[in-house]
Each structure stands twice: as structure tokens, then as C-alpha cells.
Amino acid sequence: MRLTAEKLTIRRGTTMVLADVSLAFDKAQSVALIGPNGAGKSTLLKTLAALETPDSGHVRLGDRDVAAIAPAERTREIGFLPQHFEPHWDFTVGDLVRIGAARHSNLAPTAIGKAMATYELANLQERRWSTLSGGERARVLLAMVLVADPPVLLADEPAAALDIRHRLDVTEALAARGRERLSIVVVHDLDLAFRSFDRVILLDRGAVVADAPPQKLIDDPRLDAVFGVRFERLGTGDGTALRAKR
Amino acid sequence: MKIWLGLGVLLLAAIVLAAAAGNMWASPADLWLALTGDDSLRSRLLFEWRLPRVLAAALVGALLGLGGTIFQGVFRNPLAEPYLLGSAGGAALGATVALLVPLLMPQAVLLPVLAFAGAWAATLLVLGISRVAGAVDAAGLLLAGVAVAAILGALRSFLMLALSDETVSLQVVMSWVLGGIQTPTWRTLDLLAAITLLCVGLTSLLARRLDLLGLGETMAKSFGLHVTRFVALAVLAGSIVVAAAVAFGGLVAFVGLAAPHIARWLVGPLHRPLLPASALVGAIIVTLADAIARAALPPAEIPLGLVTAVAGGPFFIVLLARRLRA
């Protein structure tokens, strides 16, 4: 199903957090959302997930307004990976993944074991959240949300806390997932954003500045303007790498 | 499985011990005689007075454990407790009004209804205040609860002073405020048992959603929970449980705090096992505390609320210190 945003606007006091954002996403697509801090990436993602209500505008899944879909049904359609996750109780890894799986009533019985294996959690089943490292926590979060793999995935920097190997694995897996289902991912690591995704959306001060395939956007001077740096574009064997300078 | 068996055996032992304890200690043989329908005065006293009181204590304890678990789950705060949140204070104010203010309704109807209304209104008020003040964090919630509890306590004291010539009801109110299990008839005990079982059953329906809420509001929402609607429902359920506990046992402090904590150590934080485990732990605590209240200073009886406060207060302080350090 197509996901569309129509003229989303959110104000907080006098600042525009989202200013008239309209976007359309295909059923299968891998999209990176980039932009400096405070550009509105997280707010846009939450609004797409119907976790935040826009002051004006609509988000539609197919031809239905996401706000009008019952939460229990919406969670089967849209998965959301938050930037910060801290459960209030000291659940075990197994508890958390099972809680994630329970939101889908007719999940294959093998799904939990598969998610545990995919995110290398099989040996951590009985471990409590408080004893996990940052990287283990990020993997648990991924397993919780992706154990019931929804058609639409909205992910807010799920790999930020991971070491380089896991960050590469997770980000590339989310991008690859976009070949079959829609993945919209907030990515801080610009090289990963340009290298792994099919479409890059550049946000600044609540507005879409550019929305293009990565190979086109990477040479765009607006990239330098928005991030407030000068990027050196370095040719490498398989594309262009960015090096930021003042 | 071992844990459940252990809790069951422990509760049974606590009940036997409490039934033996009192102004006049009874031996197991005395208890057996009383249970098998012996007609001596001693047996009848045990059967008609002590046994119902012991069982009522266990049931009130179960309700307090259940209520504490629900409120801790709703507020996602391990320091939440019916007594600290003002819900117990609201129930006590309602009960005071029912007992002291002449209204055109039989007390038997008025008391539980007003106790429930008081518990519910006070909890919603605390929830509202802490929401207006920002996020529902530990400190804000506790401060709002303490403030509301203080106001409710003052109102209750005022009612007691203003209507103090009705001395008989005043004594009943006093025993309420200090916490104390009323000795029920066997029929009343049946009612209390039915209410408790109903509460255990109904609250288990909230278990999965309490787990979701424990992931934080954003995750709970994205996992399909209608957060505001569920919080309202769970506060309503918690208020019913607390009102039932207060109606039969008065203001008993800290059991609703301690029971869920101990249960969480035993069975973990998932609410499906946690709710019944907290009920069992609460039942064990209050059964023993009530036995101490009856037997420690014969022939006088120490108010139950004082026993649990002296035992539970330090527990709360330790938890608070650990929480503030974290």
C-alpha cells in the first residue's frame, strides 16, 4: 500500500516543526531521511506513524487516513523503531520479543525463534534489559518490532548506538528490506544514507529541501548549505564519499 | 511452578499461625477442634471471631497487592502505591462521609459506593495534576499524591472534628484511618472473597496491556495500545480494587508498595504472573501483620496500619534512595 503525506504542518509555539510537507512513498522503497539536528526528521517519522497528530494535513495508507485506523490494526501495518527506548520494567530479552510478537495474532510460531537468530539474541533470551549493552539493546528493539514484519517500517536511527559492523549490517538490512516493503529510515551517517538507499530526502527546518536518488543528491550544493559545512566529494572505487570541512 | 507452590504453602502457614495467635493463643489441636464443629466456647470463639478475621486480613492483603501492582503498572512507577497516591485517602474520605454525615441512604450501600468514588476521584486528580505538570515522572507523581493525600486527610479530620458528638461512629472512623481489619461475619467474608476473586480475574484481563504500557507511551502506542483509553480503564479498575480493600481494612500503608516489589523479584515483571503473585504476597504480609497487631500487646490491639507503616516505611525509603541514585 502506498503511504502518502499531504501538507503536514506542526507548530510548537512560534516554530514550525513541520512546514507543509507532502511526500508519497511506494509500496516497496528504501528511503533515507537526512538533515541536521532539529530539522524535523523524528517528528515527520512519528507523524507518519500516527504517533503524533499534525496541526493540519493528513497521512494516508492506501486511501485511508492513518489516524482513523484502530491502533490494534495500525500496528500490523506500520512498524515504528523509536530513537530512544527504555522499558519501565526490567523485562528479559525473551519477554520483550514475545511482547512484540503478541501484537500480531496469527504470527507463524517460528517467527520468534527466527527473529532471535537474525539479531543474534538466542543466547541472551533470559538476560534482563538492565544487563544489556547499548548494541544488544538496539538489536532487541529491532527484533521486537521486526518479529512481526509490517508492510511499512519507520525507523528513527536504529543503528546509532551500534558499533561499525552492526551499524553496517542493520542499516543495509533495513535498506535491502525496502526492495520488498517500504522502509523509511532516519540516517545520521551520510555515507551510509547515500550508499545503501534508493531515495534520499533532505529535511531542513521542517521542510523538504531535496528529494532525489542518492547519486543525484550527493552532488547537490544544497547539502552543504543545509548542514552548514563544505563537503569534499571524494571519488572511490564504488561511488562518491563525503568528507565534511568547515 | 516451585514459586507458586511456595507462595501457597507460605500463605497457608501464615493463616494457621495467625489463627493461633492472639490474646489467647490457640494450639493446632484447638484449631482442628474449632474447624470440625466442636461446640465449646473456646472453639466457637475461634470459629466465629478469629478465623473470619484472619481470612479477611488475607483477602484485604490480596486486594492491596493487586491494587498496588495495577497502579505501579499504570503510572509506570515502582514507587506508586494506593496509600501514597491519594486513592486510599480518597476512599477513606468517602467512607468517613458515609459513616458520619447523615444522608438518606443505608450505610451498607453508601459506604462502598462513596469509598469507590473517593478513590477514583483522588486518583484521577493526582494523574491530572502530574500530567499538567509535565510527564508522569516519579517525583512529580509522588509530590502530587502527597499533596492530594494531605488535603484529603485534612478534610477527613475536619469532618471528624465537626461531627465529633457522634462518638460511636467516630471510633469506627478512627480505626479506619489507622487501618484495621473489621471482623466480618462468615456471610460478609463470602462477599469479600467473591469480590477479591472477581478482582483477580478482571485485572488479569489488563495484564497484556499493562506490559505494553511498560514499554513507554510511544512504543505502547506503536504496538497498538490506545494509551489514554487504557489508562482511564486501568485507573478505574485499580480504584475499585483499592475501594474494596479500604472498605474492609481501612488505610493500610505500604502493603501495596511492598507486595508488587517482592512479587517482581519472584516472578519477574510480566503482569500475567505478577498480578496473582502480588495478591498472594500481599495476603501473606497482611495476615502476618494482623496477627502481630492482635498478639503483640495483649489485651490491647495495635492498629494494623501502624504495624505495616513501621515495617513498610523503611522499605519505601530504601526503594526511594535506590531510585534517586539511579
Contacts of A74 in chain B (CB under 8 A): 224
Share of chain B above pLDDT 70, in %: 96
A85 to chain B, any CB pair closer than 8 A? The answer is yes
The helix (H) or strand (E) run that includes residue A198 is: none
Q: Mark yes or no for CB contact A87/B216 under 8 Å.
A: yes
In whole angstroms, what is the distance from residue B46 CA to residue B20 CA? 9
| Segment A72-96 mean pLDDT | 92
Q: In chain B, which residue ranges form alpha helices assigned H by DSSP?
A: 2-20, 28-35, 41-45, 51-75, 87-100, 107-132, 138-162, 167-177, 186-204, 207-213, 217-222, 227-249, 255-267, 271-295, 304-325
Contacts of B269 in chain A (CB under 8 A): 89-91, 95
Q: Mark yes or no for CB contact A88/B219 under 8 Å.
A: no
- pLDDT beyond 70 at B138: no
- pLDDT beyond 90 at A14: no
Q: What is the CA radius of gyration of chain A?
A: 18
A205 to chain B, any CB pair closer than 8 A? The answer is no
Give residue B223's region: left, alpha or beta (phi > 0; psi -120 to 50): alpha
* Minimal Cβ distance to B225: which of A71, A85, A95: A71
pLDDT number for residue A240 = 84
| Segment A188-202 mean pLDDT | 92
The model's pTM: 0.89
Q: Taking the CB of residue A115, how many other CB atoms lie within 10 A of it?
A: 25
A92 to chain B, any CB pair closer than 8 A? The answer is yes
A72 to chain B, any CB pair closer than 8 A? The answer is yes
Q: Mark yes or no for CB contact A78/B214 under 8 Å.
A: no
pLDDT number for residue A89 = 94
Tell me the CA distances in angstroms from B78 to A50, A137, B121, B145, B194, one per residue in order.
29, 22, 22, 14, 28
The secondary structure of B155-220 as a DSSP string is HHHHHHHHTTT-HHHHHHHHHHHT-------HHHHHHHHHHHHHHHHHHHTTHHHHHHHTT-HHHH
- pLDDT beyond 90 at A99: yes
Domain architecture of chain B: domains with CATH = 2-325 (1.10.3470.10)
Q: In what order do the strands lie in the sheet with A15-25?
A: A15-25, A3-12, A56-61, A64-65
How confident is residue A226, by pLDDT bands cut at 50, 70 and 90? very high
pLDDT number for residue A206 = 92
Contacts of B215 in chain A (CB under 8 A): 85, 87-88, 96, 99
Interface residue of A45, A99, A137, A141 to substitute, partner B, most B CBs within 10 Å: A99
Sequence letter at residue A60 = R
How confident is residue B134, by pLDDT bands cut at 50, 70 and 90? low
Q: Report whether B90 contacts B73 (CB < 8 A).
A: no
* Minimal Cβ distance to B224: which of A46, A72, A89: A72
Per-residue pLDDT of A26-76, as tens digits, reads 999 999 999 999 899 999 999 999 999 999 999 999 999 999 999 989 999
Higher pLDDT, B198 or B299: B198
Measure B228 CA to nearest chain A CA, in Å: 12
Task: Identify the DSSP state of A222.
Answer: H
Higher pLDDT, A83 or A44: A44
How confident is residue A113, by pLDDT bands cut at 50, 70 and 90? very high
Per-residue pLDDT of B10-45, as tens digits, reads 999 999 999 988 878 888 888 888 888 788 888 888
Q: Mark yes or no for CB contact B219/A74 under 8 Å.
A: no
In whole angstroms, what is the distance from residue A71 CA to residue A69 CA? 6
Measure A100 CA to nearest chain B CA, in Å: 7
In whole angstroms, what is the distance from residue B274 CA to residue B276 CA? 6
Tell me what ipTM this predicted complex has.
0.89
Q: Report whether B315 contacts B68 (CB < 8 A).
A: no
pLDDT number for residue A158 = 81
A15-25 vs A29-34, strand pairing mode: unpaired
In whole angstroms, what is the distance from residue B42 CA to residue B27 CA? 11
In whole angstroms, what is the distance from residue A212 CA to residue A220 CA? 10
A244 to chain B, any CB pair closer than 8 A? The answer is no
